[in-house]
Amino acid sequence: MSNQNKGASRRQFLTGAAALGAGAVAGAAKANTPDPLITEVQDWAAGLGDGVDATPYGLPIDYESDVVRRNVEWLTADTISSINFTPIHALDGTITPQGCAFERHHSGAIDLPKDDYRLMINGLVDTPLVFTYADLERFPRENHVYFCECAANTGMEWAGAQLNGAQFTHGMIHNMEYTGVPLRTLLNEAGLSGDMSGKWVFVEGADASSNGRSIPMEKALDDVLVAFKANGEALRKEHGYPVRLVVPGWEGNMWVKWLRRIEVMDGPVESREETSKYTDTLEDGTSRKWTWVMDAKSVITSPSPQSPIAHGHGPLVITGLAWSGHGAITRVDVSKDGGITWETARLAKPGEKMALTRFYLDTDWSGEEMLLQSRAIDETGYVQPTKAQLREVRGLNSIYHNNCIQTWHVKPNGEAENVEVS
Amino acid sequence: APAMAEKYGLGRPALPEEIAAWDHDVSPDGTGLPPGSGSVEDGEVLFSDNCAVCHGEFAEGVDNWPELAGGFDTLDDDDPVKTVGSYWPYLSTAWDYVHRSMPFGNAQSLSDDDVYAIVAYILYSNDLVDEDFVLSNENFLEVEMPNADGFIIDDRETTEYVNWRAEPCMTGCKDSVEITMRATVLDVTPDVEGDE
């Protein structure tokens, strides 16, 4: 089936579902005529499928061709220093498939073979060192699942409801299981002497943008990981192959890809990516800097504008994602009436620190309009704020760190729209 | 230093030439600046040849490409214009970033003196120096950046967290709800039905 046909059939399906709308009854309607998909022998039940040699490394089946990264052309001057979006509206669970996990580059996704890879540690260390890729694989490893959220995720929504879909409003995020070496192990190898309190590390990538960022030593020695595997396999080229930094709970910009150098320093470099960018301007014109942590946040991924209710009335699964850079998610509340009343959703698994958490609210829908919202609470007791609460402190121009409660307006025909409510 | 685990004897010492080749960062106090200088006059020619196609002859920006000059006193406006002159706190960042990552697509092609000259021209474009100004490692810290005091360290702990760590309302949380804004009115979302 060609992609063209796929698009057309999906459109027809959605139109049909919308037309069905309020009149549809719950799924258990009685069949009047036998279903030929059951009564007639289908090709796949008679003939043969593909051989095991057909697909050495597989892609999703054609019918899932809409579950892809999307670009929004008008957001940036070109596609090289730009962003695309994870199709979170179509995913479930918590692990993001790497092939559709969002990308953010400042000078493109570079091609850096393992053989050409070098990592330097220099500055205030006993012995500045150079590692090859093979060296890194000989250090003791750890595995951790963490979310990587771009500081600008939901940034286009500060001024109002702009983009119509969870992929676009909340899709600058992915969540992977990383394998790597703690940064502290590598720093120890180079040797840290004397008092390290108040010291910093400057980290930069091998690409032209370098993406240099300063990280306080306390965080560097805590949980920062120098990672070379994600979701079981090597990092994808666009995610930093062969080595990236993983900075749990902190803004995605600091997760330096194609990591090539770590310098121990007396102070922060105040690089471009922590002065001109990734600083948050408040209403009075002053700006916050070093806003590293991503606060607790959530979004309902279905129903949502790209994932309308197509099955008529009756049982409905409301589901979404919650996460916090401060630790584990302990609770997610869902409202169907724009925040007047709330009920506590079910977490698929107990929340893990600085990782995506899946929630479900299993409900019954009779075609009534809904104003769907979700509200995350983390282990520090922090409750995800409304956009009004955020604006009251920050104004409209801080660009980054928009963790407001999102509202979807679900209409009687099952379609959903990104809205703001009073 | 904290008591650390054993060493593994992996990696090898970095040579001075290798460190010099990769360690280019410049800090706000000027640490990392190489000796050199460049004039506004030379910078104007270099900027025209290497930068103006995106950033404009006067650093004013072309199309969606970044504006490097202007925007003074706009940071508390509805639509702030953030440039090197209006926003950037440290000149070191301009030198460091131009040297390491510009021109876009041909980074690390400028000599140290070229970078001093281009940064001098960007200062001139922002009316921060005169046309006969020469920037060097000697006078670098004398340049005053207008927004040097415009930044505060992350204060969410006191301005937000203390207020938002409270048991939230569950029922009767407000009297009514009205839709105040709709994304479909703007209609700027890519067509997600059409396959690319």
Task: Express each pLDDT in B139-164 by its tens digit.
Answer: 999 999 999 999 999 999 999 999 99
Q: What is the total residue count of chain A?
A: 422
A163 with B2: Cβ contact below 8 A: no
Model confidence, pTM? 0.94
> What sections of B80-177 are H helices per DSSP?
91-101, 112-125, 156, 162-164
Question: Can you tell me whether residue B136 is helix, strand or coil?
Answer: strand
One digit per residue, the tens of pLDDT, for chain A of length 422 reads 334 434 444 444 444 444 444 444 445 678 899 999 999 999 999 999 999 999 999 999 999 999 999 999 888 888 999 999 999 999 999 999 999 999 999 999 999 999 999 999 999 999 999 999 999 999 999 999 999 999 999 999 998 999 999 999 999 999 999 999 999 999 999 999 999 999 999 999 999 999 999 999 999 999 999 999 999 999 999 999 999 999 999 999 999 999 999 999 999 999 999 999 999 999 999 999 999 999 999 999 999 999 999 999 999 999 999 999 999 999 999 999 999 999 999 999 999 999 999 999 999 999 999 999 999 999 999 999 999 999 999 999 999 999 999 999 999 999 999 999 99
DSSP designation for B141: G
Report how far residue A125's alpha carbon sits from residue A263's, in angstroms, rounded to the nearest whole number. 9
Please tell me the predicted confidence (pLDDT) of residue B193.
52
User: In this complex, is the C-beta atom of B37 within 8 Å of any C-beta atom belonging to chain A?
Assistant: no
Write down the ipTM of this complex.
Answer: 0.94
Supply the pLDDT for residue A18: 44
**Beta carbons of B10 and A121 less than 8 Å apart:** no
Dihedral sign, Cα of residue B33, residue B39, residue B44, residue B48: negative
* Site of tokens 């703690």: A182
CB contact B78 to A (< 8 Å): yes
Q: What is the pLDDT of residue B6?
A: 84
Give B 82-121 residues with CB within 8 A of chain A: 82, 84, 87-90, 92-93, 96-97, 100-101, 104-105, 107-108
Q: Which of residues 149-168 of A touch B (CB under 8 A)?
A: 160-165, 167-168
pLDDT in tens, B104-149: 999 999 999 999 999 999 999 999 999 999 999 999 999 999 999 9
- Res B48 pLDDT > 80: yes
What is the three-state SS of A162-185? CCCCHHHHHCCEEEEEEEEEEHHH
Determine, for residues B170 and A165 on separate chains, whether the beta-carbon distance falls below 8 Å: no
Inter-CA distances, A241 with A32, A77, A234, B96, Å: 56, 25, 7, 25
What is the pLDDT confidence band of residue B186, given thresholds at 50, 70 and 90?
confident
pLDDT exceeds 90 at position B192:
no
Helix or strand run (H / E) with residue B134: strand B134-136
A323: closest CA of chain B, how far (Å): 16
Indicate the pLDDT class of residue B188, thresholds 50, 70 and 90: confident
Give the pLDDT of residue A2.
38
How many other β-carbons are positioned within 10 Å of the β-carbon of residue B154? 15
- With beta carbons under 8 A apart, name residues in chain A contacting B22: 120, 122, 260-261
Determine the residue of chain B that is closest to A286 in CA distance: B150
Tell me which DSSP letter residue B175 carries: S
Rounded to whole angstroms, what are the CA distances from B158 to A215, A357, A377, A383, A389? 22, 27, 18, 15, 15
Contact A237, A111 (CB under 8 A): yes
pLDDT value of position A16: 41
CB B109 within 8 Å of CB B97: no
C-alpha–C-alpha distance, residues A188 and A306, integer Å: 48
Question: Does A11 contact chain B (CB < 8 Å)?
Answer: yes
- Residue that has been written with the tokens 């703001």 in this structure: A420
Is a pLDDT exceeding 70 seen at residue B179?
yes
Instruction: Tell the residue number behind the tokens 């650093």, with chain if given.
Output: B59
Q: Which of B24, B25, B68, B43 is nearest to B136 (CA)?
A: B43
Longest alpha-carbon distance in chain A: 82
HEC letters along chain A: CCHHHHHHHHHHHHHHHHHHHHHCCCCCCCCCCCCHHHHCCCHHHHCCCCCCCCCCCCCCCHHHCCCCCEECHHHCCCCCCEEEECCCCCCCCCCCCHHHCCCEECCCCCCCCHHHCEEEEEECCCCCEEEEHHHHCCCCCEEEEEEEECCCCCHHHCCCCCCCCHHHHHCCEEEEEEEEEEHHHHHHHHCCCCCCCCCEEEEEECCCCCCCEEEEHHHHCCCCEEEEEECCEECCHHHCCCCEEECCCECHHHCCCCEEEEEEECCCCCCHHHCCCCCEECCCCCEEECCCECCCEEEEEECECCECCCCCCEEEEEEEEEECCCCCEEEEEEECECCCCCEECEECCCCCCCCCEEEEEEEEECCCCEEEEEEEEECCCCECCCHHHHHHHHCCCCCCCCCCCCEEEECCCCCEEEEEEC
The answer to whether A246 and A180 have CB atoms below 8 angstroms apart is yes
d(Cα B168, Cα A417) in Å, to the nearest integer? 26
Average pLDDT, chain B: 94
With bands split at pLDDT 50, 70 and 90, how would you rate the model's confidence at B190? confident
Are B179 and A419 in contact (CB < 8 Å)?
A: yes
- What is the model's pLDDT at position A28? 65
Cis peptide upstream of residue B103 (ω within 30 degrees of 0): yes
From the list A184, A285, A419, the residue facing B76 with the nearest CB is A285
Q: Could you tell me how many residues make up chain B? A: 196
Predicted local confidence at residue B4, as pLDDT: 60
